[in-house]
Amino acid sequence: MNLRPALARGGRLHEKMLRFVVAGTANTLLTGLLMLALMQVIEADIAYTTVFVAGLAFTTIASSRFVFRSRLTASSATPFIAWCLFVYIVGVTVVHLTTYMWHVSHVYTTIIVICVTAPLNFIGGNYIFGTGGARLWRAIAGWRQVVPSLAASPGADDRLGAERTPRS
């Protein structure tokens, strides 16, 4: 797999990493402090879920426009949000393990979950908002030829990010 086109979009890798750190630091400080505060009054996994949802919109916009210098569209936001949901599952698993099974303090739980999820967010965002996201949607659109019922369903072109073509 050639990652050069994905890395080239939005600048050099170190520039994207610096912008990721800036945007991520702002998001992490705000959501981290909110998570610490919420864990004092509600269960840790509910606090993490609340904070995750609050940061998702900011992360999607900041990642596309600021970090990776890409235009935010439905065809780029959809796989990014799906990736974020995967990262959420990883994060909530870490929260559950550290808090409930290993009885780690809330401060260390917050630090550990950030250390696990931040690299995953960068890797996914760099791939999706680079040229990898376009390849992903083309691959999904190619499946329509393999699964005819998907191509025949109403609105399939809209869901798959394809150009609208007249049906005969």
Q: Quick one: pLDDT at residue 45?
A: 87
Q: Indicate the number of domains in the chain.
A: 2
The two tokens of residue 116 are 């696990």
CA distances from 31 to 9, 51, 85, 92, 152 (A): 28, 6, 16, 14, 43
Q: Quick one: pLDDT at residue 76?
A: 86
Q: Quick one: pLDDT at residue 132?
A: 63
Q: What is the chain's Cα-based Rg?
A: 18
Give the pLDDT means over successive 10-residue stretches in the chain (168 positions): 51 87 90 92 91 88 91 88 94 95 94 92 88 62 56 48 45
Q: Which residues span the domain enclosing 69?
A: 8-129
Distance between CA 55 and CA 27 in Å, rounded?
Answer: 7
- Same domain for 23 and 98? yes
Is 168 part of any domain? no
The two tokens of residue 96 are 């559950």
Is 3 part of any domain? no
SS3 42: coil
Q: Quick one: pLDDT at residue 163?
A: 44
Q: Quick one: pLDDT at residue 101?
A: 96
- Same domain for 100 and 82? yes
Is 50 part of any domain? yes
Q: Quick one: pLDDT at residue 161?
A: 46
pTM of the model: 0.65
- Same domain for 119 and 96? yes
- Same domain for 86 and 149? no
Distance between CA 61 and CA 48 in Å, rounded?
Answer: 20
SS (H, E, C) 56-74: HHHHHHHHHHHHCCCCCCH
- Same domain for 44 and 79? yes
- Same domain for 55 and 106? yes
Distance between CA 113 and CA 90 in Å, rounded?
Answer: 9
- Same domain for 116 and 147? no
Q: Quick one: pLDDT at residue 38?
A: 95
Closest Cα partner for 59 from 67, 50, 49? Answer: 67
Q: Quick one: pLDDT at residue 74?
A: 87
